[in-house]
Amino acid sequence: MVNVTLKADSNQGLINRNIYGHFSEHLGRCIYEGIWVGEDSPIPNTEGIRNDVLTALQKLNIPVLRWPGGCFADEYHWKDGVGPLSERARMINTNWGGVEENNHFGTHEFLRLCELLGTEPYISGNVGSGTVQEMQQWVEYMTFDGESPMANWRKSNGREKPWKLTYFGVGNENWGCGGNMRAEYYADEYRRYATYVRNYSDNQIYKIACGPNEDNYHWTEVLMREAHQHMSGLSLHYYTLPTGVWQDKGEATGFNESDWFQTLKRTLHMEELIVKHSEIMDKYDPECKVGLIIDEWGTWYNVEPGTNPGFLYQQNTMRDALVAGINLNLFNKYNKRVQMANLAQIVNVLQALVLTEGEKMILTPTYHVFDMYQVHMDAERLELDYESPGYTFGEDTIPQLSLSASRDQEGVIHVTACNLSHTDELEVVCQLQATDSSVASGRILHHGEIGAFNTFEQPENVTPSEWKGVTLENGQLRFVLPPASVGVIAIKA
């Protein structure tokens, strides 16, 4: 049993809803087949966007969606993706499978998707192979409300009014696929490109600089030292690999208990990355004006057998549900600096929310975690005091319990909880301070097999259910977390 204290009067600041953001790249079957099928498709669609995926994503109230990459962004020339579909340039997607990209899903289609989802767009600009003028004109095309060559071109392509665009990334992974730059060189390039990312009309751009990969603290040091006055956010990328080896990452399904443990251990490494990068950011930005934007995170396994290695298609199990729950609890915990996070990726790629196969679609365990956790969006984070019991496997020990708590605008307190152990349940006794709440209920995501997943034949093999046994009496909340589970509790007056 573990004892927890929840301080209901401890306002730890708002949890930015953008922590629950997502990422869509022209990679594999994410855009084409996953989101975009075209208006002539037999799959029911709205202006080319498939309806089943659209409906599923609408239920998550996705706050922000990143596009068009990823590595694809630094070879993407936006002018190829506007105008009549039949006249759009075709290109080779050199990063992901060497397949043809017909540019049928471009600026108008992406921003229409965001409108249908009710989400904020986050555009990644091309620094690697693009020009300053190209980036400047893209922002002008999307946001200028007046007479100009780009605004007039937008109007001739069917969009009279400009879009609202807040989030714009000036490059992506410029230490790698975005140009193999040194931090010192990119810092200067960032300053130059960002200068011409203008605020047109009344649109205000939140500029995001390319940040480090994993533990490249030198990159953060240089970018913050040389350019923090010119940025609103700095990105961070970290993927969870069961093996930690890129050449053989481990399998998405059929894994053993050791793989489970190592995956969760590597997931917890995210906390060290947030803390150490934040310490560097604090030196130059003690008031936390620059947000840490974790715009690529999630699991990365070997691709499913028989699929294109460049498409990064993988299944999604209860292990992915735990990875999602742990990371989201961490992002909530460091809400002062972490202002956005974008799971990679939204459909059919890596740790996806949704998988499709022809006209079929299934929701993954990760989808259900995001559904359960959306209660934290824009809520006040509350302080939790507890010491987790250890979860030992072989000679390694990690915490068994991951928790987060917040109070929403209606005064309802929510607690999200993960039991990392694959064998042991965990009883939790939580003392509620400074609240007279008396009613508690919960939902739990759990399956008897740690490798359980949904298939097109069994789409509801892993789904949340009512969490029986959650009690609240005399200010004491009690619950038992089954092994390998993720739960959410609502506490009301």
Output the pLDDT for position 437: 85
Omega of the bond prior to 212 within 30 degrees of 0, cis?
no
Mean pLDDT of 197-202: 95
Output the pLDDT for position 249: 96
Output the pLDDT for position 86: 95
Give CA–CA dist 105/288, Å, rounded. 36
Specify whether 427 is catalytic.
no
Residue-wise pLDDT tens digits, 337-385: 999 999 999 999 999 999 999 999 999 999 999 999 999 999 999 999 9
Mean pLDDT of 405-412: 96
Mean pLDDT of 452-466: 98
Residue-wise pLDDT tens digits, 156-197: 999 999 999 999 999 999 999 999 999 999 999 999 999 999
Instruction: Using a pLDDT cut of 70, give the percent of the chain over it.
Output: 100
Residue 493 has pLDDT above 90, yes or no: no
Residue 134 has pLDDT above 90, yes or no: yes
User: Which member of 140, 189, 251, 296 is catalytic?
Assistant: 296
Instruction: Using a pLDDT cut of 90, give the percent of the chain over it.
Output: 98
Residue 199 has pLDDT above 90, yes or no: yes
Mean of the per-residue pLDDT values of the chain: 97
Give CA–CA dist 89/104, Å, rounded. 9
Output the pLDDT for position 275: 98
Residue 110 has pLDDT above 90, yes or no: yes
Q: Angle of helix 51-58 relative to helix 107-117, nearest 10 degrees?
A: 50
Query: What 3-state class would DSSP assign to 263?
Result: helix
Give CA–CA dist 399/470, Å, rounded. 22
pLDDT band at 488 (very low <50, low <70, confident <90, very high): very high
User: Which member of 33, 109, 120, 173 is catalytic?
Assistant: 173
Q: Per DSSP, what are the bridge partners of residue 153? A: none
Residues in the chain: 493
Specify whether 296 is catalytic.
yes
Output the pLDDT for position 74: 95
Beta strands (DSSP E) in 215-337 are 233-240, 291-299
